[in-house]
Amino acid sequence: MVARHVPNDINIRALGYALGLKEHDIEAVVRDNRHSIVETAFAVLQIWRQTVGTPAEAYSVLVQALLKLNLKKVACDALGYDQ
């Protein structure tokens, strides 16, 4: 699960924006899940996953978003990304 690999200091809003989520969706997730960074990341990923098509498309978008945020280790560890 990707959310478990997300570092504690990640900017959840930046992750949401990198995944193409709308600001009001991101704000709602952050507001509703303030107690846990893992749960907040999981909620962002759940909302995002509903917006993408095939698993292959989801993988590609997620890897690109993680790389954009300098989270290559997360992409490698959680998704098996290999350049």
Q: Report domain extents, the chain.
A: 2-79
pLDDT at 83: 65
pLDDT at 9: 67
Q: What is the mean pLDDT of each run of 10 residues along the chain (83 residues)?
A: 71 91 92 85 90 88 90 81 71
* Helix, strand, coil percentages, rounded to 5, for the chain: 65, 0, 35
pLDDT at 44: 92
HSE-up of 65 (CA within 13 Å, CB side)?
A: 25
Read off the amino acid at residue 69.
L
Burial of residue 13 (number of CB atoms within 10 Å: 0-12, 13-18, 19+): middle
Could you tell me the two tokens for 73?
């280790």
Could you tell me the two tokens for 70?
């300098």
pLDDT at 16: 93
Q: What is the CATH number of domain 2-79?
A: 1.10.533.10
